[in-house]
Amino acid sequence: MSEASIEGLSGSPLSSPLIQILLSDSIEVGSKASYELCKLIYSYHPLGAKLVDTPVQLAQSQGRVINVPGPAEDRVIRAFLDEWKNLKCDRVIANCARLARIYGVASIAVMVLNEDSKTPLDFASLANKKISFNCFDPLNTAGSLVLNIDPNNLAYLKPISISVQGIPYHISRTAVFMNEDPIYLDWTSSAYGFTGRSVYQRALFPLKSFLQSIITDDLITKKSGLIIAKLKQPGSIINNVMQAIAGVKRQLLKEAVVGNVLNIGTEESVESINLQNVDTSHRSARKNILENIAAAAGMPAKLVNSETLAVAFAEGEEDAKAIARFIDDLRESLGPLYDFMNRIVQFRAWNVEFFETIKNDYPEEYGSKTFNEAFTEWTNRFVVKWPSLLTEPESEKIKVANVKLRAIISMINSLLPIADDESKEKILQWAQENFNDLRTLFPSPLKFDAKKMAAFKAELDNEKKNSLNKKPSKAFGGNGGVMEADSIGELDSAVIDLLSEVEENRKRRSSHVQSEAA
């Protein structure tokens, strides 16, 4: 029996805080994630930040499409976006969502210089004040977000207000975001209350298994370069000379590289360690662990596995569709945070000074309006929509826009001939707004006065109808009863039908008179 010498093989000592906690025997299936453990997983676990940040980054990877229909739409939108960027609102929302996914709940508070946090926020005066946003994790708000567990209470499992280190904040100054909805009498250790839960809660045990797979990777990497030399063993009598010869063989084998020739005996062989079976089983186990983590975190597996999609997002492949649905749900859940920030940005961007500039540039539209009337108009028309993560090719966008354009034109042609002046104005205003949404076909917005155009069109129709009543034979009888092409496009369909009937009666009477004369 041959002898083997094993040197330098050492285990993985439990040294780091993450290893000490996560690889301890106390972590089992169904174990709760504490505040400290969630913090360690996010800070040190290889998948900690990926589970939390990747979905939020994907959700914010495309900017929102904002529309404020009206005469000064571009100016109003630009002012809003500039203030949104100046306050770094996307970053604040991402930070709050990140903390909520780590611990289960998080909060945003608007901080106004030299103002008491207990008083209601005066939105109208925000434009001239210095403000900032703070994001609080559950440890900052511990005790104030326990939530009410009385089923007969209006505030049952609803976050009302927060308090940070004994300082209360008025509800108008804060926005609370929870990762998932709270469960009755289910205490969340990481959030210090009956609130939402951490994204790590259900995935705790698979995250522990993933660390074991990393240790296995490290051992396989170390042993994959091991060379096994099957040398002829010396006889029963071993002397120093034979030991020296064996040492020389091992040294020559160690130093041999590409281009060298190594001479060994016919009964000897040199091989690398066979890790084929280990590699197959380890790869399969690692994939299953990642899929378990993705399922526990409620995420598509491809986001966790970091696999490249076989088909890009633009083609709408099934995996891409699943990811897009997941991101759409996340965007919808972030809606309250965006609404909270929208209102603050609107009051700061659309202030009195901005209104005065718009009033000077658009005197006909805003000359008779007050600031409050204009601000209310802009906020009521403020429409926000997230673009689809499944982006279409430019050619498909043009086709879709062309279909919409034909539908708009068809609607106009159907409604205008039977509409009164007031309705025509509304129809033209609707058409203008829909035309301006077709940015793929018309990059520059279409602007006209719908009221003037409706009145002008009505006047034009009346003039033509009067001329037809006075001289019907010129329009229809001058060319053998054939109506001119230009007149067809300008007359209402109802008038055309009526005059066509009159022309047919005239022809019949004329033919009857000729037959009697003959």
Of 390, 420, 444, the position where a domain reaches its end is 390
Residue 444 covered by a domain: no
Residue 3 covered by a domain: no
Confidence of residue 462 (pLDDT cuts 50, 70, 90): low
- 145 and 245, same domain (yes or no): no
- 307 and 352, same domain (yes or no): yes
- 309 and 337, same domain (yes or no): yes
**d(C-alpha 80, C-alpha 29), whole Å:** 48
Q: CA dihedral defined by 427, 431, 433, 435, rounded to 10 degrees?
A: 180
Of 353, 368, 390, the position where a domain reaches its end is 390
> What pLDDT does residue 241 have?
62
> What pLDDT does residue 496 have?
55
- 79 and 182, same domain (yes or no): yes
The mean of the pLDDT values for the chain is 80
- 52 and 143, same domain (yes or no): yes
Fill in the amino acid letter for 72.
A
> What pLDDT does residue 312 have?
46
Encode burial over 126-156: b for 16+ CB neighbours within 10 A, e otherwise: bbeeeeebbbbbbebbbebbebeeeeeeeee
- 234 and 371, same domain (yes or no): no
| Mean local confidence (pLDDT), 4-15 | 42
> What pLDDT does residue 503 have?
62
- 69 and 195, same domain (yes or no): yes
Residue 447 covered by a domain: no
Confidence of residue 4 (pLDDT cuts 50, 70, 90): very low
- 64 and 125, same domain (yes or no): yes
Among 162-171, 185-194, 258-267, 382-391, name the one with the lowest average pLDDT: 258-267
> What pLDDT does residue 305 have?
82
What is the longest distance spanned by two Cα atoms in the chain? 149
Residue 87 has pLDDT above 90, yes or no: yes
Q: Please compute, for residue 2, the number of CA atoms within 13 A of its CA located in the half-sphere on the CB side.
A: 9
- 209 and 252, same domain (yes or no): no
**d(C-alpha 245, C-alpha 301), whole Å:** 56
β-pairing, 227-230 vs 269-272, is antiparallel
Among 101-105, 262-266, 411-415, name the most confident range: 101-105
Confidence of residue 448 (pLDDT cuts 50, 70, 90): confident
Confidence of residue 440 (pLDDT cuts 50, 70, 90): confident
DSSP, res 302: H
Residue 6 covered by a domain: no
Confidence of residue 216 (pLDDT cuts 50, 70, 90): confident
Closest by Cα among 67, 128, 77 to 358: 77
65 backbone dihedrals φ, ψ, rounded to 5°:
-95, 115
> What pLDDT does residue 260 have?
62
153 backbone dihedrals φ, ψ, rounded to 5°:
-100, 145
Q: Which residues contact 449 (CB under 8 A, 6 or more apart)?
A: none
C-alpha distance from residue 249 to each of 223, 261, 263, 271 (Å): 21, 13, 9, 14
Query: What domain range is 48 assigned to?
Result: 29-224+276-390
Q: pLDDT for 326-367, tens place per residue? A: 999 999 999 999 999 999 999 999 999 999 999 998 988 888
Residue 199 covered by a domain: yes
- What is the end-to-end Cα distance of the chain in Å, rounded? 136
Residue 421 covered by a domain: no
Residue 449 covered by a domain: no
- 243 and 313, same domain (yes or no): no
Residue 243 has pLDDT above 80, yes or no: no
- Number of other CB atoms surrounding residue 376 within 10 Å: 12
Number of domains in the chain: 3
Residue 108 has pLDDT above 90, yes or no: yes
Angle at 207 between CA 202 and CA 210, to 5 degrees: 150
Encode burial over 76-92: b for 16+ CB neighbours within 10 A, e otherwise: bbebbeebbeebebeeb
Q: pLDDT for 33-56, tens place per residue? A: 899 999 999 998 999 999 999 999
Residue 460 covered by a domain: no
E strand or H helix at 178: strand 174-178
- 190 and 308, same domain (yes or no): yes
Percent of the chain with pLDDT over 90: 39
Closest by Cα among 29, 386, 384 to 204: 29
Q: pLDDT for 279-300, tens place per residue? A: 777 788 888 999 999 999 989 8
- 33 and 136, same domain (yes or no): yes
E strand or H helix at 434: helix 421-437
Of 345, 368, 390, the position where a domain reaches its end is 390
Residue 3 has pLDDT above 50, yes or no: no
Among 164-178, 201-215, 447-461, 478-492, name the one with the lowest average pLDDT: 478-492
> What pLDDT does residue 240 have?
62
Q: pLDDT for 466-490, tens place per residue? A: 554 554 444 444 444 444 444 444 4
Residue 309 has pLDDT above 70, yes or no: no
